[in-house]
């Protein structure tokens, strides 16, 4: 084969390689979620005046969940904070992700989830629970849902 006949075939191969290398890789997506916490969502509900909000982000590539929880009007200091699941509204579940460290408002933290935890979180099967001495099983609770 002459050199002039081989050049178009070679150029075509290079062009195809350039197109394939420019194709986007699977992109990570950040899912924004939120929760509104109050005593009426506890099981059973209680008469606390406490209330709170949580902003949660989940990175689909790294499986890292990050949160900021703000609360007020609790019966006393928060003694425990956890994400529970999997469950449906009205149900209770085991701790899925414990929140450690300083529990004063605002609570900030992150955790890398397992594949099963990530699936349950994205399916809306997690709730956030804040505990106090007066309400050791939970004073306020809120379901983690995709942000609007």
Helix, strand, coil share (%) of the chain residues, nearest 5: 20, 40, 40
- The reported pLDDT for the residue numbered 27 is 73
Q: Strand, helix or coil at 95?
A: strand
What letter would DSSP give residue 117?
A: H
DSSP lists the bridge partners of residue 124 as none
Please state the pTM of the whole predicted model. 0.81
- pLDDT per residue as tens digits for the range 21-67: 444 445 779 999 999 999 999 999 999 999 999 999 999 999 999 99
In sequence order, the 6+-apart residues with CB closer than 8 A to the CB of 75 are 48, 50, 132, 133, 134, 135, 139
- Confidence label for 1 from pLDDT (cuts 50, 70 and 90): low
Q: Which of 10-24, 65-79, 109-123 comes out lowest in average pLDDT?
A: 10-24
- The answer on pLDDT for 10 being more than 60 is no
The domains of the chain are located at: 30-146
In sequence order, the 6+-apart residues with CB closer than 8 A to the CB of 104 are 77, 78
- The reported pLDDT for the residue numbered 119 is 97
Task: Please give the mean pLDDT across all residues of the chain.
Answer: 88
Name the token pair of 106.
Answer: 């605002």
**Class (C level, CATH) for 30-146:** mainly beta
């Amino acid at each position: 084969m002459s050199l002039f006949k081989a050049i178009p075939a070679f150029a075509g191969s290079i062009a195809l390689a350039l197109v394939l290398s420019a194709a986007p890789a699977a992109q990570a997506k950040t899912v924004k979620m939120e929760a509104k916490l109050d005593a009426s969502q506890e099981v059973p509900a209680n008469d606390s005046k406490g209330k709170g909000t949580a902003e949660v982000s989940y990175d689909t590539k790294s499986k890292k969940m990050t949160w900021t929880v703000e609360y007020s009007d609790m019966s006393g200091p928060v003694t425990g904070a956890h994400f529970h699941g999997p469950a449906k509204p009205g149900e209770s579940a085991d701790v899925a992700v414990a929140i450690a460290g300083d529990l004063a408002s605002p609570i900030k933290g992150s955790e890398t989830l397992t594949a099963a935890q990530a699936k349950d979180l994205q399916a809306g099967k997690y709730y956030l629970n804040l505990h106090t001495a007066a309400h050791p099983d939970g004073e306020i609770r809120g379901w983690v849902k995709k942000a609007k």
